[in-house]
A and B are shown apart, each in its own frame.
Chain A
Amino acid sequence: MLSFEPYEDPAYFGILLLGLLPIMIMMLYGHRSRIYENIISLFFLFLTFGGPSWHEGAALIVYMVYETCLTYFYLHYRKNNNKSWVFYLTVFLAALPLATVKISQQTTSNIPSLIGFMGISYLTFRVVQTIMETRDGVLKKINWVTFLEFVLFFPTISSGPIDRYRRFEKDYRSIPKRDDYLEMLSKGIHYIFLGFLYKFILAYFFGTYLLPQVEAAAMHARGGFLDISWPLIGVMYTYSMDLFFDFAGYSLFAVGTSYVMGIKTPMNFNRPWQSHNFKEFWNRWHMSLSFWFRDYIYMRLLYTFMKNKTFKSMTTAANVTYVLNMMIMGFWHGVTWYYVTYGLFHGFGLVINDTWLKYKKKHRESIPSNWFTKGFSILLTANLVCFSFLIFSGFLNTLWFK
């Protein structure tokens, strides 16, 4: 029985091309066959969640029934009522399966293998935002078939990018003009080939070839202050490059495949290494995730804090929200000290960054701004980010405690 993780295997790309070919031809002639698209989607879901992974498939089906019922209930409720506690309870219940999986991953229980499946995080993001937009009254009608097509859209099922229901629905309900589609098609193919370079050449070199060697050297060089050594610095940069090329490569496949299907799934990366500061970095790195956190956690929390005047100064409110937002992101990655520390590092980093930007705005005349300061800030940001990825990698856990 064939079974594939998305975009991992050359054979997967072969099957993908065969499956997408009819869609390309139909699109060029101005047709969109939802029946065919759904058959292809189910087929690819089956490739990932069938066969030896059938238990994940079963968990996925139960999860989807549960989340769809929950969303349906809330949409129905929201038509005539709008109590805050019902909204919070619904969001809590929607996030509950994910939270259970994440928390129990750190224990020896078998819950993750029972209710977890690949992509549960990203499906939860899509469901929770749909519930939030329903509360805001922006979503008054949800087409249930489109909802399922949106949450289960196979090119982005395992790790995003995280699209928005209204945006997705608009693309899915329309057929691009031939010229527009040709442009999307060429972009899509370009993305997929760039993805090959990123994932199968660069990420392979850094992650599979180089990383184990520098890690072994760093383990060997233990003994100094905090076990710091030159090879450890090598681990920091090598891991960062691996993380970037692996995830950016995957994202290019997911976006490229979406474009071929006539869906403009949002991009995940926009040259993150040329950011001048942390704030800019989060507008360029894993964007669909950071924008999700910005729109559905940061802005909402801050809005509530400011409206209720929870904090005396607005700056305090913004800073507390930065730390909370990034800490939640850390916990989402997993309940371990290194993910949470990574979140806090970026949370406090953003606070310092924001304080500096405010100071700079006030004293604009006395602070120089030239090619040197700009180059320096890019270098500083990139190095701090790489350091945060070293925390994120969990390698320090191995280095110090194993």
Chain B
Amino acid sequence: MDVKQTVLSILKDISGEDLSDQMDTNLYDTALMDSMSTVQMMLQLQQQLGIDVQISEFDRSQWDTPNKIIDKVKGLVK
């Protein structure tokens, strides 16, 4: 499975919604995500893709839409 599919499936598990048709929706403004789901997402990214994101690196404004998350994750997967 590629990064995009993995991220979308993680987000679907956490937010309870299929986000593939809302790739530029702000997840925090729409309350689809919050601090708790962010921590869940970080742990899932670690387990499923082996990438390590530190909380300090997690600047909300850079992780607030599915597209931005996918871009960020792609940059972190080696």
Where the two chains meet, the residues of A that have a C-beta atom closer than 8 Å to any C-beta of B are: 132-133, 136-139, 279, 294-295, 298-300, 302-303, 306-307, 314, 318, 354, 357, 361
Contact = CB atoms under 8 A, between A and B. Distances in A.
Interface stretch (B4-12, B19-27, B49-57, B69-77): B49-57
Contact of A306 (B43, B54, B56): B43
B56 A299 contact: no
B55 A295 contact: yes
Interface string B21-36: 0000000000100111
17 contacts: A132-B56, A136-B55, A136-B56, A138-B54, A138-B56, A295-B58, A298-B35, A299-B35, A299-B38, A299-B58, A302-B35, A303-B39, A303-B42, A303-B43, A306-B39, A306-B43, A354-B36
A60 to B, nearest CB: 27
Contacts of A139: 56
Contacts of B39: 299, 302-303, 306
Nearest to A301: B39
* Most chain A CB within a 10 A radius of its CB, from B31, B35, B54: B35
Ordered nearest first, which 8 A-B pairs have the shortest CB separation? A136-B54, A136-B56, A138-B56, A318-B36, A133-B56, A302-B39, A303-B39, A299-B55
A117 to B, nearest CB: 28
A346 to B, nearest CB: 15
A314 B56 contact: no
- Chain B contact-residue range equals 10 to 19
Nearest to A294: B35
A124 to B, nearest CB: 18
A279 B43 contact: no
Contacts of A298: 35
Nearest to B16: A361
Nearest to B38: A299
Contacts of A303: 39, 42-43, 55
A300 B57 CA distance: 12
A192 to B, nearest CB: 26
B34 A279 contact: yes
